[in-house]
């Protein structure tokens, strides 16, 4: 486990498992808990301190499990609650902590409360049911749009409308209702009592809405969305923090917080709120030395001000895989531009070289690092999925204009030379026929593979006392080079230029993302050094 003990989240290497796509043990083409249990040794050998599971709860799968029907059980496609408890114990025995996804902003239309609300108006106040506008009430109550495309309101048979900021199968909870707050506090205790070490909070800044439900005002500061970053939300997380801190050791609260303002972002990380939050500014940052350095500085400044650890993230289940992004002319990521950049030319050789360098950059920075399943294999985005295979509601709600997120969710390749590559049964999303070289077995046998690089980097990161939750200092470097030192004489240099740059004369190479050219560091390459003078 991470050397930070009770404060493990400050420097942990955390691996995200998307359960449907990790490993399928029963051969039905859907990943399951038995498949994860069989692969725990792989995660241990990779050097992982903790695993974050995307939702494993019972769900109709309108949004791949983020439409939760029951927060205290396991979806039968994945296994059973006793299996989940056994997985937690087995992971702990290997030194791996467990983080689960809690979805507080919305639930499923199959949830007991929502089903009761359809016929019992006493339950409607737990959601956002409203009469429509217009003489016949046949217009939505306001002009809010769904993040997934289309309207954010759906009408029920008696004429009222309910709010869903995502899919129509995901009605939003009304957090002004005390029963909602009490329910989620009990859900936290339920899982903490079963050994879960932390929770990742989905859509963490969107939970509380302006009760007036006003129309969207693009000129309203600091955020024009009346459903984002409300001041009242902080008391919710203060109550959750009190619950987490009551356990020994304390449990961790990790937020999915998408906010452009670093100061408002940092408010969620004050000492009585969340322990950590995802660094989406870094995830979306283009492969550009000035932009990356500015992002690192702003991240560390904002986190230091509230005493919180930074997090470093390159990919997750919602974004285009960074091997593909880094091979494009436009290397950053923005949800609003996914449609425009889909199928844009990508040089995967360049993208892979940059992704290898980025792996050493992120694992050398202060704080914790997140690895999305498959990035340790260098998987690219699968952009040519047939329309008939796509399941992301974004694809349907935008009339196929936005490809959605299925391309980063394709099942992992483990072994063999053709699909399903040892995953189990033929995957719920089709795997490319070109993935034989990306299997775990193939890469484990190749000392120069992406998997070998990640294993070496995470092992060194754990062994180096100056990495993880320790300070860094920028070093003088050319304009297109990032160079910094950590305690103990450790140095990281990342060359983002097209031409090689000279390495320091008195340094021993610990690890490089690609071949070095004598005393030169080639472009799009990173190196870890031990400074000897």
Burial level of 288, CB count in 10 A (0-12/13-18/19+)? middle
> Which residues make Cβ contacts (< 8 Å) with residue 286, sequence separation at least 6?
330, 331, 332
Preceding amide of 379 cis, omega within 30:
no
* 368-372 and 311-313 strand pairing: parallel
The answer to whether the CB of 289 falls within 8 A of the CB of 523 is: no
Distance between CA atoms of 502 and 517, rounded to whole angstroms? Answer: 9
Spatial distance between the Cα atoms of 163 and 174, rounded to a whole number of angstroms: 10
Burial 29-50 (b: 16+ CB within 10 A, else e): bbbbbbbbbebbebbeebbbbb
Identify the three-state secondary structure at position 41: helix
Q: Give the active site residue among 202, 376, 443, 524.
A: 202
Angstrom distances, CA of residue 272 to CA of 9, 193, 197, 236, 276: 15, 21, 18, 11, 12
Catalytic residue among 75, 167, 256, 383: 256
Q: How many C-beta neighbours within 10 Å does residue 381 have?
A: 26
CA atoms within a 13 Å half-sphere pointing along the CA-CB vector of 99: 30
CA distance 88 to 196: 7
The reply to whether 273 belongs to the active site is: no
Quick check: is 383 catalytic?
no
Which stretch of DSSP H or E encloses residue 22? helix 19-22
DSSP string, 418-432: STTTTSSSSPSSPPP
- Kindly state the helix (H) or strand (E) to which residue 531 belongs, with its residue range: strand 525-531
Burial class of 155 by CB neighbour count within 10 A (0 to 12, 13 to 18, 19+):
middle
CA dist 272 and 502 (Å) reads: 46
The gap between the terminal CA atoms of the chain, to the nearest Å, is 33
Closest to 196 in 3D by CA, of 63, 62, 71: 71
Rounded CA gap, 437 and 228, in Å?
Answer: 43
Residue-wise burial string across 403-414, b where 16 or more C-beta atoms lie within 10 A, e elsewhere = bbbbbbbbbbbb
Give the SS3 label for residue 397. Answer: helix
What residues act catalytically? 202, 256
């Amino acid at each position: 486990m991470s050397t930070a003990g009770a404060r493990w989240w400050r420097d942990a290497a955390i691996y995200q498992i998307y359960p449907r796509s990790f490993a399928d043990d029963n051969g039905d083409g859907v990943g399951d808990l038995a498949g994860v249990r069989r692969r725990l040794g792989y995660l241990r050998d990779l050097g992982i301190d903790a695993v974050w599971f995307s939702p494993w709860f019972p769900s109709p799968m309108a949004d791949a499990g983020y439409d939760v029907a029951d927060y205290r059980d396991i979806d039968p496609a994945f296994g059973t609650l006793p299996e989940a408890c056994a997985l937690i114990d087995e992971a702990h025995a290997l030194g791996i902590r467990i983080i689960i996804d809690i979805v507080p902003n919305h639930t499923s239309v199959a949830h007991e409360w929502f089903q009761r609300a359809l016929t019992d108006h006493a339950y409607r106040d737990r959601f956002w049911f409203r009469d429509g506008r217009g003489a016949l009430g046949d217009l939505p109550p306001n002009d809010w749009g769904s993040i997934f495309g289309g309207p954010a309101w759906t009408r029920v048979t008696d004429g009222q409308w309910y709010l869903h900021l995502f899919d129509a199968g995901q009605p939003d909870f009304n957090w002004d209702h005390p029963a909602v707050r009490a329910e989620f506090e009990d859900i936290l205790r339920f899982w903490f009592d079963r050994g879960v070490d932390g929770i990742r909070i989905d859509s963490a800044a969107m939970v509380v809405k302006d009760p007036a439900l006003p129309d969207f005002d693009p000129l309203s500061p600091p955020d024009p969305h009346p459903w984002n970053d409300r001041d009242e939300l902080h008391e919710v997380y203060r109550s959750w923090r009190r619950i987490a801190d009551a356990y020994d050791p304390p449990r961790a609260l990790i937020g999915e917080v998408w906010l452009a303002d670093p100061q408002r972002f940092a408010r969620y990380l004050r000492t009585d709120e969340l322990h950590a939050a995802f660094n989406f500014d870094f995830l979306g940052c283009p492969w550009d030395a000035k932009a990356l350095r500015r992002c690192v500085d702003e991240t560390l400044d904002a986190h230091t001000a509230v005493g919180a650890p930074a997090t470093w993230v390159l990919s997750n289940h919602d974004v285009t895989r960074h091997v593909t992004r880094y091979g494009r002319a436009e290397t950053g990521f923005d949800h609003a531009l996914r449609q425009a950049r889909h199928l844009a030319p990508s040089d995967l050789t360049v993208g892979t070289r940059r992704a290898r360098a980025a792996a050493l950059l992120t694992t050398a920075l202060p704080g914790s690092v997140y690895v999305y399943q498959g990035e340790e294999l260098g998987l690219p985005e699968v952009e040519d999925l047939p329309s008939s295979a796509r399941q992301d509601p974004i694809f349907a709600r935008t009339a196929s204009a936005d490809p959605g997120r299925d391309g980063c969710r394709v099942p992992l390749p483990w072994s063999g030379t053709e699909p399903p590559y040892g995953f189990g049964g033929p995957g719920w999303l089709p795997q490319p026929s070109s993935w034989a070289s990306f299997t775990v077995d193939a890469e484990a046998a190749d000392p120069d593979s992406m998997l070998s690089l990640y294993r070496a980097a995470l092992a060194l990161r754990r062994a180096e006392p100056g990495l993880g939750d320790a300070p860094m200092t920028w070093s003088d470097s050319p304009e297109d080079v990032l160079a910094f030192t950590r305690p103990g004489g450790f140095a990281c240099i990342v060359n983002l230029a097209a031409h090689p740059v000279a390495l320091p004369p008195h340094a021993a190479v610990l690890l490089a993302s690609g071949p070095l050219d004598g005393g030169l560091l080639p472009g799009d390459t990173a190196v870890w050094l031990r400074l000897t003078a």
